Amino acid sequence: SDLYVSVDETDELALEGFTKLGFTVNRRESDLLIPTDPKVTGLNAADEPEGVVLISAIDAYEDQLRLLDDALRQDVPGNAGWRWDPGDFHEETFGSDFDPAAYLIAVEVDSGDYLGLVRVWDSPGRPRLGLVAVSRPYRRLGFARLLLARAFRALHERGKSEVTAEVDE
């Protein structure tokens, strides 16, 4: 089966060694530090648009949240076909890094449909943005911005000035 290794791109010796062994670049990932201060980010927490509310994952229907997560992951590189096992989803979602104030879901009031989510883990050291995503029909309507603004505000109010994030280049 396939074998993968992670190497810092500035480590020329390691890159050369792995290249000689036949490894090729599969993907590149960058680590980012993102401020949580709305004065810096411009992410001012506005009210939800009419007919939409933001709820914490702790208040969500777990199966519906898991299905939303599965659907959103289809647009994340390397996750095509991903489907959570319900037990694994529960353990991962509500484990030790779960932060109910920073794991939020946008919900359409009339239908009860889950439109998108932001997931910030309360990781040791500093919080980590795991995912911000919105279902295709609801993109470009400001939901991701609203979700990030609310989660980051909660973190900022607790003295967390930055979050980390990984991005696939």
| Res 83: pLDDT | 92
pLDDT band at 19 (very low <50, low <70, confident <90, very high): very high
Per-residue pLDDT averaged across 132-155, rounded?
A: 95
Q: How far apart are CA 125 and CA 103, in angstroms?
A: 18
> What are the beta bridge partners of residue 162?
35
Q: How far apart are CA 125 and CA 114, in angstroms?
A: 31
Taking only the tens place, the pLDDT of each residue in 111-130 is 999 999 999 999 888 999 99
Is the CB of residue 57 less than 8 Å from the CB of residue 65? Answer: yes
Helix and strand element counts for the chain (H, E): 5, 6
Taking only the tens place, the pLDDT of each residue in 80-100 is 788 999 999 999 999 999 999
